[in-house]
Structure 1
Amino acid sequence: MKRLLVFVLAGFALSAAAQPFSKTYLMSFHVCDASCMGFQDHITQLAESNDGLNWTLVPNFPAYSASVPDIITRGNKAYIFSPGKVRRYDNGTGQWDATPQNVSIIDSVSAQASYVDPSAIIDSSGNIVLFFLNATGITGDPAGCSNYPCTKYFDSATEIPGSDGTQFVKNSGHRISVTLTQSPQTGSDPDIFFDGTKYVLYVSQGPSTLAASCSSLHGTYSVFPNLPAGVLVQNIGGIPCGHYDASSNQYWTFVHSNVGNSVEIRRAAHSDFNTQLTSFTTVISGPVIGEPASTKTESPGFCVNTLLTAIHEQAVSQLPPAFPNPGDEQVTVNFGRNISKGVLSLYDQHGKLLRQNPVSGNEAIILKNDLAAGLYFIQLQTGQYLLCGKLAFR
């Protein structure tokens, strides 16, 4: 039996007994059985994995009625967003919200924005940011057009501090717009992630997936120029989510695809966005989660599990001691190995993300700058590994 490593992350010590998550990655998705008539019958489920390929359901997860879910973790909480709702898990109490909570987005003049298909990311200030399809003023299916052609606008909104994922303010401008020219074209289900140097945004176009990028989170996203019309997946998978695995320098693109009479979640690993993806591997299906083959598994949402408190040692390790520790003006973080690409995150004692920077090599320097004297927690994500440690400034 492999030895377990127990550590403290972001300033709180937790028992493994209170923690249902034990693996490196989490995936939210919804299921729809053979009698399912539409989104009103969708049931949200949660799975976990150590390699992104082999998934199992999270034990004792309270599956509930919700569609197109996306998951994110921050500090000692997990958040599953669906249109207009969020359900939160508190690692301190070991409890989920009894029922999903309402989520509102207001614009610059405090008017309510209508939205669907939220995708979550944590910004450099520790706030949750939602990317979404703006449905304000739209009647009927927000993904399609009442009259073609029409344009779909995908926007972002930043969490109001203290609202714990329930209130957001729309950021100015649009992140990307997609023009639909003829029926049955659609545009929906954005997914946002960071690869250490740029933000990558996916947009679903029915059974296809569009890919774009931007150097800033709230900038204007441009499709990858080497992809035909920016289409990464053509007619074999939509409703996407993505992740960058720094240890292998590979992107993981998840889509759901029609397979026979059902729908499965599939993954492709690729090194760039220069060619369309044509080869996918099924990772979640009805039989994988113990359901009939006719059960549809749809709409994946992915995140790295930063709530880990006790897992296999090869997945989570301690960083070597920082030096000097405590430091006055700067501290050198030794990675204990040479890495080609990773992301180094700095958290305060309450789990708030303070800084997040791409790194490579075998060490990085953290400057005190505006940081107060005190204890901080660091996490190096290389994809295959989560390396954690702590440091202090005087």
Structure 2
Amino acid sequence: MTPPSAAYVMAFHTCSSNCENPTGHTVRLAQSQDGAVWSDVPGWKPLSGSVPDAIRRGNTFYVIGAGLTRIDMTTGSATADRFSVKKTNGSNALARDVSFAGQMPDGRFVIVYVPPMQDVVGTTSIPVQIAVEDKGSDGANYTFYATAISIESTSLPVIGQPTDPDIFFNGNQWVLYVSVGSNVVSFTSGSVTGPYDAGSATVISNQAGGVPAGVQSDSGVMTFVNSGSSRENLVIQRAVSATGTAAIPAAAFSTVLTGAAYGASTAESPGIARNTTGTSCGTGCTGSTTTSTSTTLGKAGRPGSRCTTANKQGTWKGSVLVCKKVKGKLV
């Protein structure tokens, strides 16, 4: 593939039907110089995956949502790897709606996520959690670090359960976005790892779209959301504001990506990254205490067929498929 060269890179997924089922989602990669006009990254092979995100460190772009893909920014070669998030006791965190938040001072990536559904059923307090990259894993493995904030959903000014967290720096402070139905609520902190101030809760998008992503730009903060008349008809929209922490009128959002160009009914779940080198991987980031091995993938069954190992990857007609648990079954 040709490495992305524009100022911004977006990982997102499309869907054609039965879009509640993540096995029907396809991860794509686009780039833009201004955040308004987007084009495909040449040579990117669509992957079977869902809720993707991307970040750059040094000479490598990292894309998650279908395991982990590393893109060499010199050669354009793409390497697949497994992606894992663990609790402090070493067990699988079953992290949901994972996105990149930023970096630690030593260059390690920070991710943000919410717990699996079985951990939050019947509760109104939803923890938004932070994990930090394991030393030497090159973006593949993470361990729980802290709870960024526990959101009491009954105290929110909009109705619903917080999902799909996204964290970005707006030039002055760190901003956490969460999706609450077709709304976006923001919280702020002085640190990427939190804690985030519950008192700073602000409705950014009021019935104007959810599943947000934010990024600082030369003209302010660009906020991206899903928006549409139904679950099977979603587009990605963008608005620009000064800080990304004040209410944005619905009329300020305009469509930047649709599924039509891909023969799909939806384009959704934007994950935005600046195409800059970030903080290099220094002492505390490099090393071999945690190993991560790039894999040569075997063949997978057709999408929707049964598989045996959660998060295991395989190829099917040139696409990389990831074994997912859907409604208690591995598919």
Same-fold call, TM cutoff 0.5: yes
- Structure 1 residue 291 corresponds to structure 2 residue 259: no
Contact 2:2/2:41, CA 8 A, preserved across alignment: no
Corresponding residue number in structure 1 for 2:180: 205
Shift of 1:90: 2.0
Corresponding residue number in structure 1 for 2:107: 126
Shift of 1:91: 2.6
Change (3 A) 1:195 1:189: same
Distance 2:214 2:202 in 1: 16
Contact 2:28/2:46, CA 8 A, preserved across alignment: yes
- Structure 1 residue 240 corresponds to structure 2 residue 212: yes
Which runs of structure 2 are paired with 1:171-186 in the superposition (5 Å)? 171-172=145-146, 174-181=147-154, 185-186=160-161
- Structure 1 residue 282 corresponds to structure 2 residue 262: no
Contact 2:31/2:39, CA 8 A, preserved across alignment: yes
- Structure 1 residue 269 corresponds to structure 2 residue 243: no
Distance 1:285 1:32 in 2: 11
The SS at the match of 1:171 is: strand
Contact 1:189/1:203, CA 8 A, preserved across alignment: yes
Shift of 1:109: 3.1
The SS at the match of 1:301 is: strand
Contact 1:224/1:274, CA 8 A, preserved across alignment: no
- Structure 1 residue 112 corresponds to structure 2 residue 92: yes
Shift of 1:234: 1.1
Corresponding residue number in structure 2 for 1:46: 29
Corresponding residue number in structure 1 for 2:6: 23
The SS at the match of 1:235 is: coil
Distance 2:18 2:84 in 1: 32
Which runs of structure 2 are paired with 1:7-22 in the superposition (5 Å)? 19-22=2-5
Which runs of structure 2 are paired with 1:222-233 in the superposition (5 Å)? 222-223=197-198, 225=200, 230-233=202-205
Distance 1:20 1:125 in 2: 25
With structure 2 as the length reference, what TM-score do the two structures score? 0.76
Contact 1:47/1:57, CA 8 A, preserved across alignment: yes
Root-mean-square deviation (CA, aligned residues, Å) is 2.5
Corresponding residue number in structure 2 for 1:158: 132
Q: Of the two structures, which has the highest relative contact order with CA contacts closer than 8 Å and spacing of 6 or more?
A: 2
Which has a greater percent of strand? 1
Change (3 A) 1:189 1:94: same
Contact 1:131/1:156, CA 8 A, preserved across alignment: yes
Q: Write out per-residue CA displacement over residues 200-221 of structure 1, whole angstroms, 9 at most, x where no aligned residue.
A: 1101111111101100122210
Corresponding residue number in structure 2 for 1:86: 68
Shift of 1:160: 1.1
Query: Structure 1: which 5+ residue stretches go unaligned?
Result: 1-17, 308-344, 355-394
- Corresponding letter in the other structure for 1:211: S
- Corresponding letter in the other structure for 1:77: T
Corresponding residue number in structure 1 for 2:143: 169
Q: Write out per-residue CA displacement over residues 278-326 of structure 1, whole angstroms, 9 at most, x where no aligned residue.
A: 2201000124xx235x62000000001126xxxxxxxxxxxxxxxxxxx
Change (3 A) 1:19 1:59: closer
Distance 1:151 1:81 in 2: 27
Task: State which of 183, 186, 189 in structure 2 corresponds to 1:214.
Answer: 189
Q: Whose Rg is larger?
A: 1
Shift of 1:178: 2.0
Change (3 A) 1:353 1:238: farther
The SS at the match of 2:55 is: strand
Change (3 A) 1:199 1:46: same
Shift of 1:46: 0.6
Distance 1:106 1:220 in 2: 20
Change (3 A) 1:224 1:26: farther
Which runs of structure 2 are paired with 1:53-72 in the superposition (5 Å)? 53-72=36-55
Distance 2:159 2:256 in 1: 28
The SS at the match of 1:71 is: strand
Shift of 1:168: 1.2
With structure 1 as the length reference, what TM-score do the two structures score? 0.65
- Seq. identity, %: 31
The SS at the match of 1:40 is: helix
Shift of 1:150: 2.1
The SS at the match of 1:48 is: strand
Shift of 1:105: 2.2
- Corresponding letter in the other structure for 1:185: G
Shift of 1:37: 5.6
Corresponding residue number in structure 1 for 2:227: 257
Distance 1:184 1:224 in 2: 17
Q: Write out per-residue CA displacement over residues 90-135 of structure 1, whole angstroms, 9 at most, x where no aligned residue.
A: 23442112x4x22222333333322111111222211111111122
Distance 1:203 1:131 in 2: 11
